[in-house]
Amino acid sequence: MGIRTGAQYIEALKSRQPEVWLSGRKVTNLYDEAVFRQPIHEIAKLYDMQHDPEYQDKITHICEETGERVNNAFLVPRKPEDLKARRATFEAFAKATFGLMGRTPDFLNVVVTSLYSNSDFLAKYNPEWAENAKTYYRHVRDNDLFLTHAIINPQNDRSKSSHEQQDTFTHLGAVEETPEGLIVRGAKMLATLSPITDEVIVYSFPGFKPGDERYALAFALPIDTPGIRILCREAMQDGTRPVADHPLASRFEEMDALLVFNDVLVPWNRIFLYNNVEAANLLYPKAGLGQQPSHQTGVRGLIKLQFATEVACRLADAIGVDVYLNVQNDLGELIQSVESLRALLKVAELEYETLPSGDLVPGYDPIETIRGLLPTFYPRAIEVMQIIGAGGLLMSPTEADLTHLDLAGDMERYYGGREGVSGPDRIHLFKLAWDLCGEAFGQRLLQYERYYTGDPIRKKAIFYSNYKKTHSFALVDDALDMPAIPQAPKKLINNKQLIF
């Protein structure tokens, strides 16, 4: 089939009925559920972009294997142009959502592509796993599927490993092997957008200990597989708030969920890894599951930071406070953080690495540095927005006030900004900013930048350890090895030595 349209994505969504729980009730019609309606359409728009002449050649390509047009996220990068082609997709999707939707289809499609192109790693442990990964990649690519992922165990007792938890099946684990496949039980989180995706892929970060064999798992299933229960968190908007009042929150809310697997059958041909602690610990670093998707997250993160920075700048300008040194200093700092990420991304793409397989990946040091900086840069952008917007952020009237004839004079007089910024202009801008820096929606976006790909603290520690392995800190040796400067000859005047 190749690239889908938005309508085809929606049609597929309407054709299935996953078990979705939202605020104590089972959702029987996902499409008509107000909370999901707008995000479904935002995702559909991305699928439509693949058919838009303005984007098609930039974000899709003809698949060599099938002759069909597919998204660039499925491209296995073999030359620098391929990395650029991938980036074009990441950028187009991120710009269409202002970087606010982290789990757009391109994200996990890159993960599946990495699994495919690094299937040799899986083959070392079990050739069937490698074959399954390759077949699954083709399935996702050729049907242009939208995936969610659930890789984290529930937060029960982090001081204990999976097999040490109170209940054997709190963490997702294998119950028994059957001729048809593996029965799995337990939970995984935090499956963002899961209610409106086609399939779920399950794998893990490293951290397995001997005894954790049953939890060492990687597999994929359709999201409506019997036994999968999707427990949504509380919605941050109810789907009925006016778009004009919440231009971002009403559009881009990504629902997060706990996935409970109640004795779910995973067919053998959907298993990518099982019962092997060593393989499970090496999967993430060795199968490109960090470095390849980091390209997508780096591009998306840059656009989100740029958007937040631009909102902060416009906010300051609208009320005339960007004439003050302190405000200019804060905004300059944000712009420099955007420029830092932009430069890092360029370097990561220019200084790409070639894996033994021949695949190109963005340079590890710069791409991982983006990941390390975003949890500081993004919250700072939000803080600056709050500081600059100050009390004004809390004073925005509703669209109903704004459009009421009796209030028109007040709206213009008291809500207008500096000369040239009308009441409605300032109100709309401040509402946009409040969605980002005040609403629960905005707080989730901030938490997302901290944790979207694991614990930033442990990630930085891993980065340091890797850096130490690959860099010898030779400048220090150079400094220690500097030869002493030859002593200047002592001067004699009238046969007397001069002492300085």
Ligand X SMILES: Cc1cc2nc3c(=O)[nH]c(=O)nc-3n(C[C@H](O)[C@H](O)[C@H](O)COP(=O)(O)OP(=O)(O)OC[C@H]3O[C@@H](n4cnc5c(N)ncnc54)[C@H](O)[C@@H]3O)c2cc1C
Binding residues for ligand X, rule: CB under 6 A, are: 103, 149-152, 155, 158, 190-192, 256, 444, 447-448, 451-452, 454-455, 457-458
When the beta carbons of 10 and 190 are compared against ligand X, the nearer one is 190
**Is the Cβ of residue 204 or residue 396 nearer to ligand X in the bound state?**
204
Distances (CA, A) of 63 to 115, 200, 429, 442: 18, 24, 43, 38
Task: Name the minimum Å distance from CB 223 to ligand X.
Answer: 13
Cβ 148 to ligand X, closest distance in Å?
6
Looking at the Cβ atoms of 50 and 153, the one nearer to ligand X is 153
Q: Using the minimum distance from each CB to ligand X, give the nearer residue, 191 or 230.
A: 191
Nearer to ligand X, 45 or 444 (CB): 444
| Residue (261 or 430) nearer to ligand X, CB | 261
Dihedral pair phi/psi, residue 420, rounded to 5°: 95, -10
Residue number, 55 or 203, with CB nearest to ligand X: 203
CB of 419 vs ligand X, minimal distance in Å = 40
User: Taking the complex as a whole, how short is the minimal distance between the CB of residue 219 and ligand X, in angstroms?
Assistant: 14
Residue given tokens 């939707």 in the structure block:
101
CB of 343 to ligand X, least distance (A): 27
Pairing of strands 60-62, 271-274: unpaired
What is the smallest separation between the CB atom of 423 and ligand X, expressed in angstroms?
35
**Closer residue to ligand X in complex, CB, 3/228:** 228
Distances 39 to 97, 172, 324 between C-alpha atoms, Å: 10, 28, 39
**Closest CB to ligand X among 27 and 172?**
172
Kindly list the strands in the beta sheet with 181-188, ordered across the sheet, starting from the edge strand earlier in the chain.
25-26, 19-22, 228-232, 257-267, 181-188, 173-177
Interstrand relation of 271-274 and 353-354 (parallel, antiparallel or unpaired): unpaired
CB of 250 to ligand X, least distance (A): 18
**Number of residue whose CB is nearest ligand X:** 192
Of residues 175 and 440, the one with the C-beta less far from ligand X: 440
Closest Cα to residue 133, out of 294, 295, 279, 281?
A: 279
> Smaller CB distance to ligand X: residue 213 or 254?
254
Contact yes or no for 185/261 (Cβ under 8 A): yes
- d(Cα 108, Cα 280) in Å, to the nearest integer? 18
Which CB atom, from 98 or from 352, has the smaller least distance to ligand X?
Answer: 98
Taken as a whole, the chain contains a residue count of 500
Instruction: For the CB of residue 449, give the shortest distance to ligand X in the complex, in Å.
Output: 9
Least distance in angstroms from the C-beta of 146 to ligand X: 12
Name the one residue in this structure whose structure tokens are 């500096």.
418
Picking from 217, 201, 198, the residue whose alpha carbon sits closest to that of residue 276 is 217
Q: What are the structure tokens assigned to 133, written together?
A: 């990964």
**Residue 16 · residue 224 · CB < 8 Å:** yes
The strand pair at 69-71 and 60-62 is best described as antiparallel
Q: Which two tokens stand for residue 113?
A: 């592509």
Q: Do 79 and 169 contact (CB within 8 A), yes or no?
A: no
Write down the least CB distance from residue 433 to ligand X, Å.
20
